[in-house]
Structure 1
Amino acid sequence: MHICIITHEYPKPGFVHGGIGSFVKTLAPKLIQNGVKVTIVGLNYENEYEYVEDRGVKIYRLNYKNINKLGWYFGAKATSQKIAEIHKNDPIDVVEASELGLFCIDKIKNIKYVIRLHGGHHFFAESENRKINFWKGFQEKRSFKKADAFIPVSNYVKIHTNKFLSFNNKPVELINYPIDIDFFSPKNAVVKKHSIVFVGSVCEKKGVRQLIQSFPYIKKQFPDATLEIYGREWFYPDGTSYTTMLTEVELPKLGELSKDIYFHGLVDYDKIPEKYAMAHVCVFPSHMETQGLVAPEAMAMKKVVVFTKEGPGPETIAEYETGLLCDPFNPKDIAEKINWVFSNEAKAIEIENNARTFVLEKFSADKITKKNIDFFNSLIKN
Structure 2
Amino acid sequence: MTSFATAALSRVLPPLQLGSLTVDTPVVLAPMAGVTNRAFRTLCREAGASTGHHPGVYVAEMVTSRALVERNSEALRIVTFGDDEVPRSAQVYGVDPATVGAAVRIIVSEDRADHVDLNFGCPVPKVTRKGGGGALPWKRQLFTDIVRAAVEAARPYGVPVTIKMREGIDDEHLTYLEAGTIAEGLGVAAVALHARTVAQHYSGQARWTSIARLKEAVTTVPVLGNGDIWSADDALRMVRETGADGVVVGRGCQGRPWLFADLAAAFHGETVRVRPTLRQVAETIYRHGELMIDYYRDGDTAEHAADAEGKGMRDLRKHMAWYLKGYAVGGEARRALALVSTRAELRERLDALGDAPYPGEAAEGQRGRAGTPKTPHLPYGWLDSRELDATWEAKLREAELSVSGG
Normalised by the shorter chain, which TM-score bucket?
0.3 to 0.5
Higher strand proportion: 1
